Amino acid sequence: MRFRKLKKQSKVKSQNSQSDKKDVLYARNVDRIKSFITDMFMIYTPILYLITYVVMDGKDEFQSSTIGPLVAVVLYGVISVILLYKFGQTPGNKAYSMKVVDAKTLQNITLLQAFLRFISFLFSATFVLGLFVGFYRKDRRSLHDLLSNTAVIVVDD
């Protein structure tokens, strides 16, 4: 086969794959931030409250403890991973009509992907730079999305 025909075929294939991806509407960064704040209030705050006032004797003991905040983050992670695996959404994502899906297949993510996404989010949030990656990409995927091969898309509920 001639080189021109091969090149033309590859262009047609790449255009077809790009046209398939254009149908996907990626969630806006502003909505992702709002969703995260909503999750903090709906999931993480009650966990902190229960650990501080039910398990421990109050805020002074919680602040001096190293295991209290660790347990809170682990519980938040477990709840978040289970929700993302089972439904593809946390309460914040549902409130803003977003869903976390596999970046290639646009299907629900696996348990391993959900776990890897949470762990890599902790590192991205620690170094802050990983969170800003999404502001410079067309598909708005942050570092933790790239590492776990996930994407946050807009869904119609």
87-105 pLDDT per residue, tens:
999 999 999 999 999 999 9
State the amino acid at position 138 in one-letter form.
K
**74 - beta bridge partners?**
none
1 occurs within a structural domain:
no
Q: Which ranges of the chain have pLDDT less than 70?
A: 1-4, 6-7, 11-22, 157
14 occurs within a structural domain:
no
**What is the domain extent for residue 81?**
25-154
Under 8 Å CB-to-CB from 137, ≥6 apart: which residues?
Answer: none
53 occurs within a structural domain:
yes
State the amino acid at position 93 in one-letter form.
N
9 occurs within a structural domain:
no
Q: What is the dihedral of CA 50, 63, 74, 93, to 10 degrees?
A: 70
- What is the predicted pLDDT for the residue at 87? 95
- What is the predicted pLDDT for the residue at 6? 67
Q: Is the pTM of this model over 0.85?
A: no
34 occurs within a structural domain:
yes
- What is the predicted pLDDT for the residue at 24? 86
Q: Quick count: other Cβ atoms within 10 Å of Cβ 147?
A: 18
12 occurs within a structural domain:
no
143 occurs within a structural domain:
yes
State the amino acid at position 72 in one-letter form.
A
The total domain count for the chain is 1
Cβ(115)–Cβ(144) below 8 Å = no
13 occurs within a structural domain:
no
Q: Quick count: other Cβ atoms within 10 Å of Cβ 53?
A: 12
